[in-house]
Amino acid sequence: MLDYNQPIDRSRSEAPQQRRSDASFNVLELVSLLWRRKIAIAAAALIGACLAVTIGKSLTPRYTATAQLYVDPRELQLVDRELTPRAQDLSGMSMMVESQARLITSNSVLLRVIEQANLDKDPEFGGGDGKSAMSSLLGLIGLQPRAPSAADVKDVQLAALDALNRHITIRKTEKSFIVDIEVWSTDPARAAMLANTLTNAYLTESRNSQALAARRATSELSGRLKELRERLRNAETVLATYKAQNNFVGTQDALISDQQLSSSNQRLSAARAATMDAQARLDQIEASRRTAADAGANAEVLQSPTIANLRAQYADARKKYAEQTAELGPRHPALRQTEKQVEDIKRVISEEVDRFAQSAKNDLTRARDFEASLNRALEAQKRQSVQLSQAAVRLRELEREVDASRDVYQSFFKRSRETEEQETLNTSATRVIGEATVPQRRSFPPAMSLFAMIGVVFGGLAAACWFVAAEHLFVGATAPEPSRRERTPEPEVSRTRPETAAPPPPLSLVEKPLIARLQEADVIRTLGAILATGGGVDLTRLGWPTLRPGFPLTTLLNALRDMRAAVARRAGGKAMPVIALVGAGETVGRSVTALNFALAAARDGSRVLMIDADHQAHTISNKVNRPGKSEPGKLGWLSIGSNAAREIKTVNGISVLPAAESDAGKATDAIRKAIAQARSAGGYDLVILDGPAMPFSAAGRKLLDSADALVAVLPTSLDINDSMEEILTALGGAERKLVGVMLDELTPAAQMRQRGKQYA
């Protein structure tokens, strides 16, 4: 793993790698060890298979038989009213099905199965064969066993009940009314017999419980019928006597005056509701007209086909006006005509809404007049009803008592007859949809082939683990294999230094490099071929990802400031330090990182000179120094070898010095000369070298010697540890100048843009 918690020391960096190589146990060694022990591992796997098959053969086989029941919670509708109400929702039905599934394993059902199948005498269920054997032994010595008591019989039944309960599994199919009854036994025929006996016992118990409930309900209802009949007869006698004494004549339900009063009251209520509705409709229309909102935004207006047609025309006209506004000028005749059409339609809509308001006023006036007339008629009927109510109070009381007694008696009488008939009816819809058949295969234990396979796997795995552990624990004295990956020897040219250069500081005093991450969140992506006009090239418009505008205080920018501060300390007071960015992988990622490094320094107020030191790819030069884009009169005073590669001023506060079209040695001498010239003139605060490219040539190592600090660019698309190791190996003695590491996490563009085409 890339670790910079300690200062850079080649001797110390190689030792951990050697230790890791010695202590590692790679895949090839593991495969070689297992191949050498293949016979022992195969023997262990065979022994494991034999043991597993032996264990499987020793297990008692079980056979499982399955019967299926359809438990319908709705039951059969044989009468109008059932004894128990039915569940109407799905949750209630599901709970009823689950309750019925639980009833299958109830004690009453299981005891019936034990009795029918004589399980209390079956040894598998704790029966009495063991006692019979004991009785035979006692008979041989002349002793007669005592007769079993009632308590002993009860204990045997309880033991059989507990054993049978363990042999039964009830499974309810999800989101259905299907219940599976699974019964296992050591005898397949017995398992099928028990499953079918259990289903029949459950159905019989269900029918008996329904008949018992109906019989109990009939008995309770019949005991109350005589009392209710006598009460109804007395109430009818009193009512007939009262009518004869007071000469009441009318319908059976109520007097004619009461019917008229009730009808008038209902009509008055309806009239008042209509008046309030008309008033509300008028108020809504008036409020819409007074406010600035749409006057037609109410239900009555929107239901009009005329308004709907006008609003559709208004929407089309508005849409056409919007389209013409975007295409035509404000004084275009077509636009003026469309605007007038919109105003005319809006005016017609307002006139139509006014007609709706007038209609609402007329409806309100008519409703108020009708309400007043009904109110006067109701008052007259009230005065007439008061005169008759004094004598009818007692009559209504007697009629209510008679009606109540009659309803209760009829209800009890009808319900008593229904429950009496339900005793012989079976309303349950539960039925057997699949009888249990004799199972042909055992359910436990599984097939011997599976046991053999498990034994082979566990035996071989145990042997392999044993050999690997023994190799690590008991063979530690063997010498480790040498590391396959060794460093490349440092070229002699990297060890040559100018005589005037100061001796390098001790390795323990070198600062540890800083780490920064260039992520997608820190940059924006622009299209290529969009350059600034007038002032020079805009480096943020080259088509590369560059730092976001606004200069936020991000972690990346703070890390870059710390790197520049470390460079200033390494430069030893020089007015213009030189930073070289080197990297592994493709050169485009290194150049993009160098460009963003320069932009960050320029935004902090530094005057930056960026030099293309890559004599092979010329990545920045190809982007910036485009033919026909620069003018001779605006070229600067710096140059590399020829007049074609001069300093280019940019609008970002950065000067770019392109690469020269010459060999690497001459270009390197020209770059060093340009750096010296810029340092003497004092026009820049910082020089950033894009390169040199790896592997370093003799000219590239001269540039590294001229640089005051180095920054390594590691693309995260590659292995960063391998890339860093490659850079350190290539730097050789110059690795002490490393002040920072840039992790390039930018992803390349998804597709190539068309050159020369304008994009919004």
Give me the pLDDT at residue 139, please: 56
What is the percentage of the chain residues whose pLDDT exceeds 70? 73
Tell me phi and psi for residue 652, to 5 degrees.
Answer: -100, 10
Q: Is pLDDT larger for residue 347 or for residue 737?
A: 737
Give me the pLDDT at residue 5, please: 45
The 10s digit of each residue's pLDDT in 695-705 is 888 888 888 88
CB 312 within 8 A of CB 319: no
The contacts of residue 396 (CB under 8 Å, 6+ apart) are: none
Give me the pLDDT at residue 250, please: 56
Highest mean pLDDT among 144-148, 532-536, 539-543, 555-559: 555-559
Q: What is the mean pLDDT of residues 561-589?
A: 83
Q: Is pLDDT larger for residue 353 or for residue 499?
A: 353
Q: Is pLDDT larger for residue 231 or for residue 479?
A: 231
Q: Is pLDDT larger for residue 677 or for residue 15?
A: 677
Give me the pLDDT at residue 9, please: 44
The 10s digit of each residue's pLDDT in 145-191 is 554 555 667 778 888 888 888 999 998 887 788 899 999 998 899 89
> What is the DSSP pairing of strand 738-744 with strand 709-715?
parallel
The 10s digit of each residue's pLDDT in 637-671 is 455 544 444 678 888 778 888 876 667 788 888 88
The contacts of residue 321 (CB under 8 Å, 6+ apart) are: 335, 338, 339, 342
Cα(89)–Cα(620) distance, integer angstroms: 74
Amino acid in position 543:
G
Task: Place 255 in a pLDDT band, splitting at 50, 70 and 90.
Answer: low
Any bridge partners for residue 649, and if so which? 655
Specify the DSSP class assigned to residue 740.
E
Strand residue runs (E) in 153-309: 168-172, 178-185
CB 714 within 8 A of CB 583: yes
Please identify which residue in the block is written with the tokens 């001023």. Answer: 649
Domain boundaries, the chain: 256-410, 510-744
Task: Place 117 in a pLDDT band, splitting at 50, 70 and 90.
Answer: confident
Q: What is the mean pLDDT of residues 615-637?
A: 61
Secondary structure of residue 24 in the 3-state scheme: coil
Strand residue runs (E) in 62-106: 63-70
Instruction: Examine the pLDDT at 475 and tell me if it is beyond 80.
Output: no
Task: Place 199 in a pLDDT band, splitting at 50, 70 and 90.
Answer: very high
In 551-616, alpha helices (H)? 555-571, 587-603
Amino acid in position 632:
P
Cα(9)–Cα(742) distance, integer angstroms: 20
Give me the pLDDT at residue 296, please: 56
Encoding tokens for residue 25?
A: 């146990």
Give me the pLDDT at residue 697, please: 84
Give me the pLDDT at residue 65, please: 92
Q: Average the pLDDT over each of 83-92, 255-264, 426-435, 516-525 and give the range with the smallest value.
A: 83-92
The 10s digit of each residue's pLDDT in 310-342 is 777 778 888 888 888 888 777 788 888 878 888
> For residue 188, with 0-12 CB atoms within 10 Å meaning exposed, 13-18 middle and 19 or more buried, which class applies?
buried
Provide DSSP, 636-683.
-S-EESEEEEE-EEBTTSEEEEPPPSS-HHHHHHHHHHHHHHHHHHT-
Give me the pLDDT at residue 272, please: 83
Instruction: Examine the pLDDT at 630 and tell me if it is beyond 50.
Output: no
Cα(104)–Cα(643) distance, integer angstroms: 102
Q: What is the mean pLDDT of residues 616-627?
A: 76
Side-chain half-sphere exposure of 161, counting CA atoms within 13 A: 15
Options 3.40.605.10, 3.90.480.20, 3.40.50.300, 3.40.50.20; which CATH number does 510-744 get? 3.40.50.300
3-state helix vs strand vs coil in the chain, percent to 5: 60, 10, 30
Encoding tokens for residue 143?
A: 């002793």
Q: Is pLDDT larger for residue 28 or for residue 253?
A: 28
Cα(587)–Cα(693) distance, integer angstroms: 7
Cα(559)–Cα(13) distance, integer angstroms: 24
Cα(171)–Cα(756) distance, integer angstroms: 72
Task: Place 46 in a pLDDT band, splitting at 50, 70 and 90.
Answer: very high
Highest mean pLDDT among 108-122, 140-154, 261-275, 472-486: 108-122
CB 582 within 8 A of CB 590: yes
Q: What is the mean pLDDT of residues 342-369?
A: 78
Instruction: Examine the pLDDT at 598 and tell me if it is beyond 70.
Output: yes
In 247-332, alpha helices (H)? 256-290, 299-302, 305-327
Give me the pLDDT at residue 386, please: 72
Give me the pLDDT at residue 193, please: 92
> Considering the entire predicted model, what is its pTM?
0.37
Instruction: Examine the pLDDT at 534 and tell me if it is beyond 80.
Output: no
Cα(721)–Cα(729) distance, integer angstroms: 12
Any bridge partners for residue 640, and if so which? 642
The 10s digit of each residue's pLDDT in 723-734 is 888 888 888 888
Instruction: Examine the pLDDT at 593 and tell me if it is beyond 80.
Output: yes
Give me the pLDDT at residue 243, please: 76
Cα(595)–Cα(619) distance, integer angstroms: 11
